[in-house]
Amino acid sequence: MTRRTIILSLLSLAFLAGCSRPGATSEKVSADAGQPVQGDWAIVRTETEPDNLNPLISQQASARYVMGGVNNSQIYELLMAYSTKDWDLTEPLLAEAPPDISADHLTYTFKIRDGVKWHDGKPFTPEDVLFTFKAVACPLTDTAALRSYLTEIQDIKIDGRTMRFIMSKPNAYNVSNLANSLSIVPKHVFDPEGLLDGFTYKDMIGPRAKTDPRIKKFADQFNSHPANRAPIGTGPYKLEKWESGREVVLTRNDDYWGKKPYLDKIVYRVITDYTAALTALKAGDIDIQPRLLPIQYTEQTSGQAFDQQFTRVKYSIPSEAIIIWNNSSPFFKDKRVRQAMTMLIDREKIIENIRLGLGKIGVSPIDLNSKNFNPNVKPLPYDPKRAGELLDEAGWKDHDGDGIRDKDGVKFKFEFLGSTGSTIYKQLSPVMAEAFRKEGIEMTERVIEFGLMLQSLKEHRFDSSTLQIGHGDLTDVDAYQAWHSSSAAGGTNFANFKNPESDGLLEQARQEFDSEKRKQIYWKWQEIVTDEQPVTFLYYFLEPAAYSKRFQNVQWLPLRPGYDLHSWWVPKAQQKYKNTTATP
């Protein structure tokens, strides 16, 4: 999974935060049954329908999983992927090898792979790579979430199949920014008129890009391009169809340049309701339920009949549930209030009663297993008494005796925003409302369609909401995208968190090439985030899943979405679907 921001439905939404560095091997669950063979399909439950299938625009996890799979290669591909041996970013994809890096860390030289074709048969070229970077850099395209990765690129030069990325200043994350952030998209599809041909990369990051009519025309077309629903990539699977509200179907690309997967098709079946999803699994209508509810895992997926057909598994990927406080809201602009809100929530009880033990208390934006995690940072305690004192100090008191705190004539009555079909929102909301009510705070609920909710978060038109944050990157954490103040406008700093000291440390971390010194910077940064509490870190996840036993070589990787369907296969005698069979 790429290191960029992704969004799931509640709960789970995901945006960039911490990361972990896992063990050297992936987890292999099922035993092999002979030599792998081609054939059969995998029908995977997805909680939400993709918002679109343009990898440079979409921030939604369901879309990212369809487009990029688990390791940067499915419909679209990136320049590099992770080695599953040591989790370093060293596996070549559309680049032939890791880049050559100049001694001053200002020039990164890639050789672009030859002999690759787009799904429509057109040749893949370095011009496609340059176009992709120009499209993201364009200030008028809906790519703000990705632009923060490109801030140090000064220019891009092409010489045959060699590309040189010239940086304005050193950045410890430049290799990942260049090779592990952008899926490469086809120039001939998204810019058939050649509207950007007359512009260099320098032009795209200069003032001209904001006003030139040709660039504006390109951006308008790009943001609403038909290919946003009908992607053409270079990867091992290509889009067969997208039936809105039901499923997205991918079919094996027999002309793929690299190692071909075994499954003929991958079907992403949209089932928003968890009960309906489990029913579909038991009925054989889907093959893989990547995320079970805790109660489904502990009480509803056992017994001889289930065990004969399915395998249950628990897997861990960097993932953490949070409550976002809009730091620009009059209710939550004071850090003492945000601290108080955290201290009013009994997270241990939530883990015990809602997650049924499948989790640990959240501490910081960085995963517990990351080498950048600060072990000296402790979660704020559950302490309603101290929370009340903090609210008093911040001026939120019950001045008129009606049982509701107020300040400057404004009642402490805020809205908790959720999305349709979110089970965890339904479970969490009454627990929070009761805890806050006891302390003189009134919380109301508003549930809207997921896309509308995401837009509200981007525009900071909310008081509070709940998300799941995750990091698909296994290298050192770069928290800039989600936590720097520059990412509040159009990026994924949904909390609108703005702190000069925090910004300075995030900028400093990017310039520090010594990993130990960079770790110390992040330790200090976590102390600031803990004190500021721009969000409440609820708990780290342990994910339960279930899948059909007919699949062999089942591997779960510490990358989102966890399952690596490119390695899965089914013995001929057990294959259920044929390419000629209509989708069930």
pLDDT digit string, tens, across residues 221-238: 999 999 999 999 999 999
pLDDT at residue 86 above 80? no
Q: Would 22 be classed as within a structural domain?
A: no
- Partners of residue 109 on adjacent β-strands: 100, 164
Do 326 and 466 have their domain in common?
Answer: yes
Q: Would 10 be classed as within a structural domain?
A: no
Mean pLDDT rounded to a whole number for the chain = 90
- Could you tell me which residues come within 8 angstroms of residue 502 by beta carbon, excluding any fewer than 6 positions away? 483, 484, 485, 525, 528, 529, 532
Q: Among residues 181, 197, 198, 192, which one has the least CA distance to residue 232?
A: 192
Looking at residue 29, its pLDDT comes to: 54
pLDDT at residue 26 above 80? no
Looking at residue 10, its pLDDT comes to: 40
d(CA 250, CA 181): 23
Do 157 and 251 have their domain in common?
Answer: no
Do 274 and 134 have their domain in common?
Answer: no
Do 364 and 274 have their domain in common?
Answer: no
Do 458 and 448 have their domain in common?
Answer: yes
pLDDT at residue 180 above 60? yes
Looking at residue 248, its pLDDT comes to: 98
Quick: pLDDT tens for 517-563: 999 999 999 999 999 999 999 998 888 999 999 999 998 887 888 89
Continuous segment of H or E residues that includes residue 457: helix 450-458
- Partners of residue 426 on adjacent β-strands: none
Q: Would 12 be classed as within a structural domain?
A: no
Do 563 and 524 have their domain in common?
Answer: no
pLDDT at residue 356 above 50? yes
Predicted confidence band at 372 (pLDDT cuts at 50, 70, 90)?
Answer: confident
67 residue type, one letter? M
d(CA 147, CA 145): 6
Please give the residue that has the higher pLDDT: either 473 or 454. 454
Q: Would 4 be classed as within a structural domain?
A: no
Do 108 and 218 have their domain in common?
Answer: yes
Do 346 and 453 have their domain in common?
Answer: yes
Share of the chain above pLDDT 90, in %: 78
Domain boundary, last residue among 228, 255, 285:
228
pLDDT at residue 4 above 60? no
Tracing tokens 């003492």 back to the chain, one arrives at 336
Mean pLDDT, residues 16-31 taken together: 41
pLDDT at residue 360 above 70? yes
d(CA 480, CA 509): 9
Residue 163, helix vs strand vs coil: strand
Neighbours of 355 (CB within 10 A): 21
Q: Which of 23-37, 267-281, 469-483 is predicted least confidently?
A: 23-37
Q: How many domains does the chain have?
A: 3
Domain boundary, last residue among 228, 256, 288:
228
Q: Would 553 be classed as within a structural domain?
A: yes
* DSSP state, residue 44: E
pLDDT at residue 247 above 60? yes
Mean pLDDT, residues 78-93 taken together: 89
Domain boundary, last residue among 163, 197, 228:
228
Instruction: Report the 3 state secondary structure along 124-140.
Output: CCHHHHHHHHHHHHCCC
Quick: pLDDT tens for 388-421: 999 999 999 999 999 999 999 999 999 999 998 7
Do 162 and 218 have their domain in common?
Answer: yes
Do 392 and 287 have their domain in common?
Answer: no
Supply φ then ψ for residue 206, to 5 degrees. -105, 175
Tracing tokens 């990325």 back to the chain, one arrives at 165
Continuous segment of H or E residues that includes residue 207: none
pLDDT at residue 5 above 50? no
Looking at residue 389, its pLDDT comes to: 98
Mean pLDDT, residues 272-296 taken together: 95
Q: Would 15 be classed as within a structural domain?
A: no
Q: CATH number for the domain including 418?
A: 3.10.105.10
Do 526 and 417 have their domain in common?
Answer: yes
520 residue type, one letter? Q
pLDDT at residue 381 above 80? yes
Radius of gyration in angstroms for the set of CA atoms belonging to the chain, rounded to a whole number: 24
- What are the structure tokens assigned to 495, written together? 């909390």
* DSSP state, residue 285: S
Burial 22-37 (b: 16+ CB within 10 A, else e): beeebbebbeeeeeee
Q: Which residues span the domain enclosing 165?
A: 77-228
Q: Would 263 be classed as within a structural domain?
A: yes
Q: Among residues 446, 408, 416, 457, which one has the least CA distance to residue 433?
A: 416
Do 403 and 419 have their domain in common?
Answer: yes
Asked if residue 478 lies in contact with residue 501, where contact means CB atoms within 8 angstroms, the answer is: no
Mean pLDDT, residues 101-105 taken together: 96
pLDDT at residue 435 above 90? yes
d(CA 309, CA 283): 10
- Partners of residue 160 on adjacent β-strands: none
- What are the structure tokens assigned to 90, written together? 């060293």
Q: CATH number for the domain including 303?
A: 3.40.190.10
* Secondary structure E strands in 231-341: 237-243, 247-252, 265-270, 288-289, 310-315, 319-325
Asked if residue 533 lies in contact with residue 335, where contact means CB atoms within 8 angstroms, the answer is: yes
Q: Would 260 be classed as within a structural domain?
A: yes
Q: CATH number for the domain including 134?
A: 3.90.76.10
Predicted confidence band at 369 (pLDDT cuts at 50, 70, 90)?
Answer: confident
Predicted confidence band at 61 (pLDDT cuts at 50, 70, 90)?
Answer: confident
Looking at residue 445, its pLDDT comes to: 97
